[in-house]
Every structure is written in C-alpha cells, then in structure tokens.
Amino acid sequence: MPLTVIAQNQFHSGEPGGVAVLHCYRKILFMHPVLRLSDHARRSSDQAIGFLMQQAVENADCISLAAGLVDEQSLPVEIAREAASQLLTDGAAGRKILQYGTTAGPEPLRRVFRNYLAELEHREDGLKDLPLSQLVLTTGSQQLLSLVTQALFNPGDICLVAAPTYFVYIDVLQAAGAEIVPVAADADGMVPAALEAALKSIDAAGSLDRVRLVYVVSYFDNPSGVSVSAERRPELLEITQRYSRDTRILLLEDAAYRELRYEGEPLPSIWSFDETRETVILAQTFSKSFSPGVRVGFGVLPTQLVKAVTDLKGNDDFGSAHLNQHIVAKVITDGGYQRHVDHVRESYRQKRDAMVAAAEREFGDIPGVSWFRPSGGMYVWMKLPDHLETGFSSPLFQRATHVDKVMYVPGELSYPVDWTDRPRCEMRLSFGVQKVAGIEEGMRRLASAVRAVVPSAATLQAASR
C-alpha cells in the first residue's frame, strides 16, 4: 500500500517517465514507509490555483486571458534600479539594509507606509493618530491574508465572503478548515441586506460565535471587477459590528487593486469608517501598483491582532525581505512610485477599453452573454447563458484551449467548492498580461469557442450570414 502511494506520487512529479521509474525502483528496495501529513497540509492540497497553473503549463500555446500577472511591459525597471543603486551606494546605510530588519518591518519604513495610506485616504493629518505598531509589513498582501487566517481560524469557524470572491483566498480558508458562507454581491459589491440575512441565519442556528471574519475585496474585485459602493462601505461595517456580540467579528478588507483606478473619484476604504480601528483589517500591496517581484505589502491591524500576527510571522520568516521594504519606501518618498502608478493606470485603462470594446464587438450578438465593465483593476467578469458550463472539463474550456487556443479562468473557482448553488457559467478574463492586440485576438478566439458550443447561437449566427 505505501509502495503504491509512492509510485503514484512519483508520476505526479512531472519528471520524465524513465527517471520516475528508476526512482521508484530504488524506493521499493528501501521500502520507505508512508509519509503522514498534517491535517493542515491535507486541507491545502487540491487548490484551485494549482489546477489553474497546471492548465496554464499544459496550454502554453494559448493566448492567456487567465493569468493574473501584472502587465510586464510596464514594470518599473529603471525606477527600481535607481532606488536599489542609491540605497546601496552609502556603505554604512547599505549595510543596515542588508542586515535583518524586524518582524513587522522597521518603524521608519512603517511611517512611510502610514503616510502613503494617509494620501490614499485623503487624510491631511497624515493619520498620525494611527499607532505605527498597528502596521505590519508583509511578503505581498497574500502573506497578510494567510497570517490573519491562521491567527483567527480553528477548523469549523466561519468566514463570510462575497460570491464570487478571490479564489486563492478560498484556498487559504479551506486550508484552515474554515466554513465558507457566500454572500450575494451585485454591481455595487457585497449586498448589505444579504450579509445581514446570512448573519441572522447563522445566529438562528446558534453558530454566531463561530463567525470570525467577513472578507471583502473592496476595490475592483478579483474576479468580478466591482467595487463596494460609497454607501455600502459603512453599512457592511455597521452590520459586522452589530453582530459582534459575545465574540468579535472582523472585516478583512483586501485593497489589492485600489491604486489601479481608471475613472471616477477615489473611494475611502471601509477601514476609514472604523473609528476605533478594532473591526477592520486593511490589506494593501505594492504588487499590482509597482512590482510583484519585490513582494512588499502591508496591513493595518486591530491592536489585539498585532501580537498574534507578528508572533506567527516571527515563526515563519522573522520579517520579509528588508532590502525590498527599503526599495518601496524610497520610491514612494522620491516620487518615482506615484509617476509609475500614473503611467500604469494609463496603460491598463487602454487595455481595459480594448477588452470591453472587443467584448461588445465579438459577444454582442450572442444571446445570454453579459459582462461587467470595471472602473479599475485587471479583470472583466463575463456571464454565459445558464446552461453553458465553463469549468476545466466543460466542452467550452476544452474547445477554447484545444481548438481556438485561448485560456480563461472558470468562474466556478471563485465560489466555495461545496456550495451546491454555485454558478458554473462564468469566466474571469484578465487584461493584465496581454497587449492590446493579444486582448483583441484572445477575445475573438474566445467568442469563436463560445459560438461553437452554443447551438442556438451558432444557428442564429449561421442564419445571419
């Protein structure tokens, strides 16, 4: 039995068959007993992102409207080089930067990030009343999401999320053994009445003390592209606080796409409405607005959560890369960061326009197809007719990747796996990676695949020729 398991595992490792067989042979001789993994590790397997990346590798010849990478063409090579070079020119200062930092990030850098947040929030007082101890620098904002989840969840605890929501965070919650409760969202983001109804129902079932968190991607949501409207921001907070009775419920505001705004006025965060700062956790990152390769993000935490998160982070890494924190702080202080954000906004805006125009052009006459035009971020969320499934094993996905050579992210990944009502007919389309020509060609191919699997549309199409 252990031998079988080992052999299977070998063949999953992606090695050439010959090497795998040889390894198996050696292993069989030594009779290694089975490796027992933790419950946490077992719950971490079968991740949506894993399947997706495997598909990306297997379909490398496709135009990818799937990848959530940032626009590589616009990455700030010169700004980063200049910052790194200047930071490491002075020997004494440079040596400090190459030394360990601190688990939460050095205080002077946290002050720079607090100033940055104050600008985002249009707070002229520089948020000086926010203690620097409530800021924690992380390896992208992903690490903050992970640490907060580890700090709060025992298996069986509950998290409410918008439906749909960021699928990697669904993976994180599943790894923690969380029960995930989807809450309806519309073009103005999570619906307050739906949040209240969900909490009421949980309360009626006697499980309110198991609710730890409400998770909201508040700006240009991944995957839906919607932002929580100005009116709803304080409402979601108020409902969360009102249901914090015996046990506090926190609201995790993921602001990853906040800076990528292509039109409209900037909205204050949900966090900004939290006067005592004891309910909202705000997750910010420079991965989208500057560079994912520097992996710098930060969080603002309720006071009582700071020690738990930094204790966990201390065990995990003693603090993220100190050099990179200095690079980001420097480009913010020097102004290079803001110039870069202005530049990428313009670039993404053009690509967003290209994708929306292509959607209109290519899908406009296919009955039952609709999409959301986002005011920022990197994604267009498209709905197909209800019967038309988009999952990895669906005829559409197979046709798209094998015939038309285009790849998208199946929408069903963005809902809890065990949610029986989850829609199966949606797609997340990214305009992050492709240039305008690639977006246009990708959308043309995707429409071709959709037409091929929508008999009625194909018929209509034929009739119209």
- 319/377 with CB nearer its own copies: 319
Q: Assess 207 for contact with its own copies (CB under 8 A).
A: no
Query: Binding string, 146-175, against its own copies, x = CB under 8 A?
Result: x---xxxxx--x----------x--xx--x
Neighbouring residues of 315: CB distance < 8 A, sequence distance ≥ 6: none
Judged by CB under 8 A, the chain residues 324 through 353 that form the site for its own copies are 324
Q: How many residues bind to its own copies according to rule CB under 8 A?
A: 107
Nearby residues of 237 by Cβ (< 8 Å), 6 or more positions away: 251, 270, 273, 274, 279, 280
By beta-carbon proximity to its own copies, the closer residue of 306 and 396 is 306
Site for its own copies in 256-315 (CB under 8 A): 275-276, 278-279, 287, 291-295, 302-308, 311-312, 314-315
Take residue 264 and report the two structure tokens written for it: 């409209």
Q: In this complex, which beta carbon is closest to its own copies, that of residue 96 or of residue 405?
A: 96
Which residue in the set 51, 121, 188, 248 belongs to the binding site for its own copies (CB under 8 A)?
248
Q: What distances in angstroms separate CA 192 from CA 84, 94, 350, one per listed residue?
A: 45, 49, 33
**158-181: b or e for each residue (b if 16 or more CB lie within 10 Å)?**
bbbbbbbbbbbbbbbbbbbebbbb
Q: How far is the CB of 288 from its own copies (least distance, A)?
A: 11
C-alpha 284/C-alpha 140 separation (Å) is 8
Nearer to its own copies, 27 or 444 (CB): 27
**C-beta of 8 vs 459, nearer to its own copies:** 8
Answer yes or no: are the C-beta atoms of 97 and 88 closer than 8 Å: yes
Q: Does 54 bind its own copies (CB under 8 A)?
A: no
Contacting its own copies within 89-148 (CB under 8 A): 89, 91, 94-101, 131, 133, 139-140, 142-143, 146
Binding to its own copies by residue 409, rule CB under 8 A?
A: no
Pairing of strands 426-430, 280-285: unpaired
75 contributes a contact to its own copies by CB under 8 A: yes
The residues with which 189 forms a beta bridge, in sequence order, are 186
| 33 counts as binding its own copies under rule CB under 8 A | yes
Q: Which is nearer to its own copies, 254 or 426 (CB)?
A: 254
Which one of 32, 343, 361, 402 is in contact with its own copies (CB under 8 A)?
Answer: 32
Give the one residue of 17, 18, 61, 85 binding its own copies; rule: CB under 8 A.
85
Cross-strand bridge partners of residue 136: 299
- Characterize the bridge pairing of strands 280-285 and 250-254: parallel
**Quick one: 44 or 350, whose CB is closer to its own copies?**
44
For residues 210 and 373, which CB has a smaller minimum distance to its own copies in the complex?
210
Per CB under 8 A, contacts with its own copies among 173-202 are: 175-176
- Name residues whose C-beta falls within 8 Å of residue 164's C-beta, 6 or more positions apart in sequence: 185, 223, 224, 381, 411, 414, 415, 423, 426
Distance, in Å, from the CA atom of 138 to the CA atom of 136, rounded to the nearest integer, reads 6
Q: Is 81 in the site for its own copies (CB under 8 A)?
A: yes
